Amino acid sequence: MNRIYLVGFMGVGKSTIGKKLAKYLDFEFIDLDDIFEQKYKISIDSFFNKYDEELFRKLEHDMLLETFLKNNAVISTGGGTPCFHNAMEKINSVGYSIYIKMPPAAIVHRLSTAKRKRPLIEGIPKDELHDVIKEKLKSRSPIYKKAHLHIDGIDVDIKELAETISIKVNHS
């Protein structure tokens, strides 16, 4: 119970929910995207432009492995983190995982107003975005669904979530 992983598609609010949950539980909050950018002193967007996705996946996985040594932490993963290098299985073996679900239309809406650039959807025309996200979500959701708990990302009640986590964990 002392290592909680948030997984789900980009834009569903993993960082916002994670920050609030960590505060509520008095846990450390770790955002894999943020620590990637701090560690390599480059935005993820620029990293994808300069290097390639394969290297990004390797480095983000290495950072994920480092979180396995943390205690009392809420870890917000990148949308692709659980989908490479068998990461979802590894996450489930060392922590408690929560899949934050959201329908494609809500994701499209949130991403179109987001501050952070997402290299995987950059340059995709607006009218194609919904279909692209729908397809990517379809291919990734079997992995996200391996998480211990699935929650709806819209209007998350942090207190209720924290209570659900402790009930589930204390009875497993």
Residue whose pair of structure tokens reads 């499209």 in the numeric block: 108
Least gap, CB of 89 to ligand S3P (angstroms): 18
User: Which residues bind to ligand S3P, rule: CB under 6 A?
Assistant: 10, 14, 33, 44, 78-80, 118-120
* Helix then strand then coil, % of the chain, to nearest 5: 55, 15, 30
Closer to ligand S3P by Cβ: residue 116 or 148: 116
Shortest distance (Å) from residue 163 CB to ligand S3P: 26
Contacts of 77 (CB under 8 A, 6+ apart): 5, 6, 7, 14, 32, 64, 87, 91
The neighbouring-strand residues paired with 98 are 6, 149
At residue 12, what is the residue type? Answer: V
Q: Which is nearer to ligand S3P, 35 or 162 (CB)?
A: 35
Q: How far is the CB of 58 from ligand S3P (least distance, A)?
A: 13
DSSP label of 95 = S
Q: In the complex, what is the shortest distance from the CB of residue 81 to ligand S3P, in angstroms, rounded to a whole number?
A: 7
Q: Which is nearer to ligand S3P, 80 or 95 (CB)?
A: 80
Closest contact distance (angstroms) between CB of 9 and ligand S3P is: 7
| Residue 78: DSSP 8-state | P
Between 106 and 120, name the residue whose CB sits nearer to ligand S3P: 120
Question: CB-wise, 10 or 98, nearer to ligand S3P?
Answer: 10
Find the distance separating the first CA and the last CA of the chain, reported in whole Å.
10
